[in-house]
Amino acid sequence: MTIPMVFILLSIIFVVLRVMPGDPVSSMLGGHAPDSVIEEKKEQLGLNRPLPIQYVEYLVQICRLDLGDSMVFNERVTKSIADKLPATIELTIFGSIITLVLGVFMGAYAADKRRQPQDYLIRFYGIVIYCIPVYWMGLMLQLIFGIWLDVLPIAGRTGPRVFASMFEKTGFYIVDTILVRDFSALADVLVHLILPSVTLGLVLSGVFVRLTRANMLEVLKADYIIAAEARGIRHRKIVYKHALKNAFIPVLTMMGLQFALLLAGAILTETTFSWPGMGRLLLERIYLRDYPTIQGIIIVFVLIVAMVSLLVDIIYAIIDPRIRY
């Protein structure tokens, strides 16, 4: 399933970026560039060749993990992406942890208290929080915690006194600071992570509240739960251990699908928090009309989404003994 999906998405991207109206070269060079210059640049980028040939070349390039050169900077596209990717991954990992913890526990609690005020309150939270645009949530948290209370930083991955170059190894600042045992820098990095990852985590938790609640309701009706109840096991243990474990499996599958939402949220969160990740890179390059980089970033997003869905399938098979491939 994953391979045809990737192939189709890559083809769609090709169609959107190359076949659809809109000419990258003339828009990059501005309306005043002489035709000869435009033609020369097109020739150089291979945009003058017939589309089927461009398409085959595009696929071959991707298979070789070569995303071409930036049109604006003298740099490989893979290099600029590799620089920014760790920041985005760090943000999405922390965001998803917050989402999962919040969403799963609130969902389980609501299901346990079905049709009681707590249930309605949590379901209302689920609807409202999902409808709050992630960038606005970010701005409001910045306003409250960064400006009014002035307790948390509102931009960037580190403070001005922590030099990223000191620990640039993997690009994952948490790992890097631990590797060089610079714990004050680690604290600084973690503090900078709080607001962006809380923003991302809060907004997406609504989806998981609903999912967990719906699954828990099904599971709580099952015979083995009634049996456990009859044997006199404590109610809390039944709900949060026996039932939640079983309700969690479909939630995990949804996590794979929701990962796309998480990535989209990350792009918006990055813009709000000046977080130097893939989303910021994408937007910067859109303003500069650097088409090879734009294309490269979207391709990397496709690969990430595909990888996550594959990963979820594998984890699914491991934790659910009924599934064997």
Nearest CA to 212 among 156, 240, 251?
A: 251
What SS3 class is residue 69?
Answer: strand
CB atoms within 10 A of CB 49: 13
Helix (H) / strand (E) containing 123? helix 117-131
Site for other proteins in 50-79 (CB under 8 A): none
What are the phi and psi torsion angles at 237 (to 5°)? -65, -40
Site string for other proteins, 290-309 (x = CB under 8 A): ----x---x--xx--x---x
Stretch of 104-112, 135-143, 167-175, 234-242 lying at the interface with other proteins (CB under 8 A): 135-143
Q: Name the minimum Å distance from CB 216 to other proteins.
A: 11
Q: Name the minimum Å distance from CB 169 to other proteins.
A: 29
Residue 194 engages other proteins in binding (rule: CB under 8 A): no
End-to-end CA distance of the chain: 13
Site string for other proteins, 15-54 (x = CB under 8 A): -xx--xxx--------------------------------
53-88 CB burial, b ≥16 within 10 A, e <16 = ebbeebeeebeeeebbbbbeeeebbbebbebbbbbb
What SS3 class is residue 76?
Answer: strand
CB atoms within 10 A of CB 32: 6
Count the residues of the shown chain that bind other proteins, applying the rule CB under 8 A. Answer: 50
Site string for other proteins, 92-131 (x = CB under 8 A): ----------------------------x------xx-xx
Cα separation, 276 vs 196, whole angstroms: 12
Q: List contacts with other proteins (CB under 8 A).
A: 4-5, 8-9, 12-13, 16-17, 20-22, 120, 127-128, 130-133, 135-136, 139-140, 142-143, 147-148, 154, 210, 214, 217-218, 257, 260-261, 263-264, 267-268, 271-272, 282-283, 286-287, 294, 298, 301-302, 305, 309
